[in-house]
Structure 1
């Protein structure tokens, strides 16, 4: 599915992550790891996560592990294997379309 950035707010730390959309229905969409969101990007299950518009800036921030802590300085986080695999499948030329790999025979 389409790979999208998310803003996660957790206990004095904010970070940008990536997830993939796996289901769309009735003005709602479901991300594989973070659950359901409405058409405005707000979570339906009460989490402190916001779906962001996929721009080159937000996608680059997510792929680089950007995070902020309001108590102290933080270094970029290491991406999980899942996020690294998703980052490798981003269609950087057109972020609104999933990356399609063409197999050569």
Structure 2
């Protein structure tokens, strides 16, 4: 029995899809294991839990990258997002009033947000998520960086507030989220080397609604 041309195309398409899925998984495993090897984790139980959870998170990320619906392109070999980088970091045109207005209307637990990180001439935009909201004080708490006022101002008084480190909550936009998802960086001379997103950041990027930025 002969196989029709359409059936052959479907077979090759499925094979290519499986190959891409495998490449994505391999790239994610390599990156995460290298990251774990560099971390100082004294708690063996914590390390075991991190390794045990890798399989689930890697498979979820790889599948979601294949099924992505976003304005960004996927680099199969590096398991990363790709898009043209702006010459200068757009976060420097920050507007506190517009930031406060946006978060006043769109703030919600679990929302993926963008943080401008600037230190010693190096800057990038990093994805984080909201895990707590204080309406009375007009503040929100992010999973990694801590407290921010909804106008974007960093509101932590601990060791992370230093003269050389600047953190700012950004009003989301296509340009802001594109830079964060693609790991774009800037140095005093211009564009820097692309930053590899952690698996956590990559999963956050997959939750973005590019129509509403929520």
TM-superposition CA deviations, 1:6-34 (whole Å, max 9, x none): 10011221111110011110200001101
Higher helix share: 2
Q: Is the 8 A contact 1:12 1:71 kept in 2?
A: no
Match of 2:139 in 1: 28
Match of 1:67 among 160, 180, 185: 185
Q: Is the 8 A contact 2:184 2:192 kept in 1?
A: no
Match of 1:41 among 140, 152, 157: 152
Give unmatched runs, 5+ long, in structure 1.
Answer: 97-105
Q: Please give the secondary structure, in 2, of the residue aligned with 1:16.
A: strand
Higher strand share: 1
Q: Please give the secondary structure, in 2, of the residue aligned with 1:8.
A: strand
Q: How far apart are residue 72 of structure 1 and its match?
A: 7.0
Pairwise CA RMSD of aligned residues? 1.5
Higher relative contact order (CA 8 A, sep 6+): 1
Match of 2:127 in 1: 18
Give unmatched runs, 5+ long, in structure 2.
Answer: 1-109
Cα distance in 1 for residues equivalent to 2:148 and 2:190: 31
Residue 73 to residue 57, structure 1, CA distance change in 2 (3 Å) = closer
Cα distance in 2 for residues equivalent to 1:73 and 1:39: 29
TM-score, normalisation: structure 2: 0.43
Q: How far apart are residue 62 of structure 1 and its match?
A: 0.4
Residue 94 to residue 73, structure 1, CA distance change in 2 (3 Å) = closer
Q: Is the 8 A contact 1:67 1:75 kept in 2?
A: yes
